[in-house]
Structure 1
Amino acid sequence: MRYETVVIGAGQAGLSAGYHLAQRGQPFVILDGADHVGGSWLNRWDSLALFTPASRDNLPGVRFGGGYTFPSKDEMVAYLQRYAGQHQLPIRLNTRVDGLFGEGGGYRVTAGTESFEADNVILATGVHRVPRTPRFADELSSDIVQLHTADYRNPAQLQPGTVLIVGAGNSGAEIGVEVGKTHKVLLAGRNVGYLPIDMRGWQGKLMFPLIWWVWENILTENKKPGRKVQAEALQGHSEPLIRQKEKDLLAVGIERVPRITGVVDGRPQTEDGDVLKVANVIWCTGFLPDFGWIDLPGLDTSGRIATERGSVTGQPGLYVLGQEFQYMFNSHTVGGVGKDAAYVVRQIAARSVLTSSGLEQARSGS
């Protein structure tokens, strides 16, 4: 099967790309391995709520609705499904892509026994796919329940006793506050600080439009403040807590401990040498990119893929959407990815015109 453009991933990035491709009349198909649109959102903990309010969670062409509330993951899945249906986007579900190769000046995408040829490919899979845990995690005693945030759903998965949460960023804080209501919680990791305003109340409602404007117009890779923040983000520096405050952690009895550096006799050890007696460990240590299924000469798939506003360096016709700080601070957010998608699709449309013009010239000269 041949398509002008193949979009890999039917989440917010892929759907945004599909909208703009459809608006320009560009032939395309969206491939996704899940059995329904937005399926990756269901692989999160039960109580997850977006960090951005519903008023800023709009994809192009359809408003989310809900005003200044923080949507749940189930509400986000319902919105994405409604979005795909309303725009009648051509989506192939249960089609898990396992290979991307160069072919005849274009690309070949494989999914099991199926093969798709394309002039353009948009990688809209999300870049953080493989749960990251330290090597010494395997040394923990078998009587300790271990979960990564990719596997954690709710406190019912935990056994009685102390819970160690490794990673003190937003995920660790959110899960810690939830688990702290039923278990004693130790939170390991650097204190990343928190926003000086309460995002959940009137302060957030008043200030968030300004915050969003700064994210979208000042913290961009073509401006000095944006390049500085981008460099810090790519070096792994954690952003401050967006919704939780230190008082929220203290209110449920969370105790901070230094970062975990190893295991002694099956128990986690802090950098200060303390060995912690815990019954559960939740690894809130993030994810690693997984582009190992891409086989293109000259493309480094070991980490973040280098792009210029989404156009992959050295790979004409290959694009990425949804990377952290792809162009602006909020490029990876639901409400931010649409702007990048519009830019990428403009590049595809321009490339299509050039390709068509070249073919016409070739025919005229023959």
Structure 2
Amino acid sequence: MSATASLPHHRVAIVGGGQAGLSISHHLRARGIDEHVVFEKHRAMHVWETQRWDSFCLVTPNWQCALPGHPYAGDDPHGFMKKDEILAYLRGFKTKTGARLREGVSVQLAKPLPGGDGFLLRTGDGAECTAEQLVVASGGYHQPIVPRLAERLPVDIVQLHSAQYRNPAQLPPGKVLVVGAGQSGAQIAEDLHLAGREVLLAIGDAPRCARFHRGRDVVDWLADMGYYEMPVDQHPLREGVRDNTNHYVTGRDGGRDIDLRRFAREGMQLYGALQALDADGTLRFAPRLREVLDSADRTYNGINASIDRYIAERGIVAPPAPAPYEPLWEPAAERETLALAGSGIAAVIWCIGFTPDFGWLDAPIFNGRGHPAHRRGVTAVPGLYVLGLPWLHTWGSGRFSGVGRDAAYVAERIAASLKAPVPTMELASCI
């Protein structure tokens, strides 16, 4: 008898209790695969509670909230749910799924058993169990990115990652340097700006898009145009699209564009990407501010132009096309340096994303960049799947709009590959 034969056993183990993990649980149950377990090291959906600022709201319309068996049912499908509404929506989904959740239980190790006979899992307290199939649904945003130069900032400057930011009041008086202008950075900079704080924003290559164009939300147009149905292998960038920064836009106050040039005209100080901190306390920025602003505007105008072509080709009745966006403000010169001494900067907010952490998964599925290789969530290791990653299959794979469809596909693959049903039993426990 093998050393693992006496261990508690699950037909399917799911690691991660966010929208991806609960979605696959829903679809497994719909296929009669009740004997599965979801391990969540914190609480289900905890990221939405703990890593979102107070004024956070969706940047895509409510109608795109389409978790399996739990579509948006409110009275504002074209609005944008605020944080409390999102949490209520997710609590409702958690209740509906009835998932067998093991909250507060981390998986410290998961690896294939010899001979392809399932997987061994070890939890945080050292307990072990086995599983016939394994779904990695923990997402790809694990470790907040903070550059090493942060260690050399003066100790009296408060530093937060975007995951820790809540509201302007938590920061000391003084100027705030926001580093990064993707979705989080642009919205946090706006939150501070609207609160009357003096903001310095270091921006990279993030693109932007319009909120509304020709009488409708741009998301509505792109949905009609089939963009959200495009699989990753048909995207012009192929798998490279997974590395793209999301377009900055906001659903705040009913939805609007985020125009960094307008912020600059109102007093926000814009810089290129932060590159270094010299020994004398001088911050150095890439001299590319004009270039990245122009690039973001080209993307903005390009998306609108693609919508215009779609309208024209189909003879759709819509309001007239506005003139292409013209810059409201231009940098007089590149700001390449900033001496911290005397700058008045009291806080820095790092908005440069997260890195994945799959150190607990001992399986030969990772590429040279540490990301799991897969095709629509199916890896080269039999019985091992990934779910909830950006562009796993389509644009919506890491979002409420598409994760359910991905989960249905993976659940179908699991159902087809499971061995003959075993007698009904009490759910095994790893602890």
* 1:62 CA drift (Å): 1.6
**Larger CA deviation: 89-98 vs 337-346:** 89-98
Which residue of 32, 35, 39 corresponds with 2:40? 32
Match of 1:54 in 2: 62
Distance 2:14 2:84 in 1: 24
Distance 2:153 2:268 in 1: 22
* 1:319 CA drift (Å): 0.6
Match of 1:270 in 2: 285
* 1:80 CA drift (Å): 2.1
Gaps of 5+ in 2: 1-7, 251-256, 288-335, 422-431
Q: What secondary structure, in the 3-state scheme, does the structure 2 residue paired with 1:150 have?
A: coil
Equivalent positions of 1:147-158 (< 5 A) are: 147-158=160-171
Distance 1:335 1:111 in 2: 31
Match of 1:210 in 2: 221
Query: 1:114-152, CA deviations, whole angstroms, 9 ceiling, x for partnerless residues?
Result: 323111111111111001122211111111111111211
Match of 2:361 in 1: 294
Which residue of 61, 81, 91 corresponds with 1:81? 91
Cα-Cα RMSD: 2.3
Distance 1:144 1:267, change over 3 A: farther
Match of 1:5 in 2: 12
User: TM-score, normalised to structure 2's length?
Assistant: 0.75
**Larger CA deviation: 127-136 vs 61-70:** 61-70
User: TM-score, normalised to structure 1's length?
Assistant: 0.87
Match of 1:254 in 2: 268
Q: 2:282 touches 2:337 (CA, 8 Å); kept in 1?
A: no
* 1:321 CA drift (Å): 0.7
Distance 1:155 1:135 in 2: 25
What letter matches 2:46 in structure 1? G
Q: What secondary structure, in the 3-state scheme, does the structure 1 residue paired with 2:232 have?
A: coil
* 1:269 CA drift (Å): 2.5
**Larger CA deviation: 101-110 vs 18-27:** 101-110
* 1:87 CA drift (Å): 3.0
Distance 2:80 2:245 in 1: 21
Distance 1:222 1:245 in 2: 30
Distance 1:310 1:193, change over 3 A: closer
Larger Rg: 2
What letter matches 1:97 in structure 2? V
Equivalent positions of 1:99-138 (< 5 A) are: 99-104=109-114, 105-113=117-125, 114-138=127-151
Match of 1:363 in 2: none
* Greater RCO (Cα-Cα under 8 Å, separation 6 or more): 2
Query: 1:185-208, CA deviations, whole angstroms, 9 ceiling, x for partnerless residues?
Result: 111123634213438x9521xx43
* 1:241 CA drift (Å): 1.5
Percentage of matched positions with identical amino acids:
33
Q: What secondary structure, in the 3-state scheme, does the structure 1 residue paired with 2:71 have?
A: coil
Distance 2:54 2:391 in 1: 27
* 1:299 CA drift (Å): 4.4
Q: 1:215 touches 1:330 (CA, 8 Å); kept in 2?
A: no
Q: 1:141 touches 1:267 (CA, 8 Å); kept in 2?
A: no
Match of 1:18 in 2: 25
* 1:168 CA drift (Å): 1.3
Distance 1:3 1:261 in 2: 49
Q: 1:102 touches 1:296 (CA, 8 Å); kept in 2?
A: yes
Equivalent positions of 1:105-254 (< 5 A) are: 105-113=117-125, 114-180=127-193, 181-190=195-204, 192-198=206-212, 203-204=216-217, 207-213=218-224, 214-218=226-230, 220-223=231-234, 226-228=235-237, 230-234=239-243, 237-243=244-250, 244-246=257-259, 249-250=263-264, 253-254=267-268
Aligned residue pair count: 345
* 1:46 CA drift (Å): 1.8
What letter matches 1:45 in structure 2? W
Query: 1:226-251, CA deviations, whole angstroms, 9 ceiling, x for partnerless residues?
Result: 142641442xx323223242166347
What letter matches 2:273 in structure 1? R
* 1:85 CA drift (Å): 1.7
Distance 2:93 2:398 in 1: 18
Gaps of 5+ in 1: 358-366
Q: 2:63 touches 2:72 (CA, 8 Å); kept in 1?
A: yes
* 1:9 CA drift (Å): 1.2
Match of 1:68 in 2: 78
Match of 2:295 in 1: none
1:334 aligned to 2:342? no
* 1:301 CA drift (Å): 8.5
**Larger CA deviation: 244-253 vs 76-85:** 244-253
* 1:287 CA drift (Å): 0.4
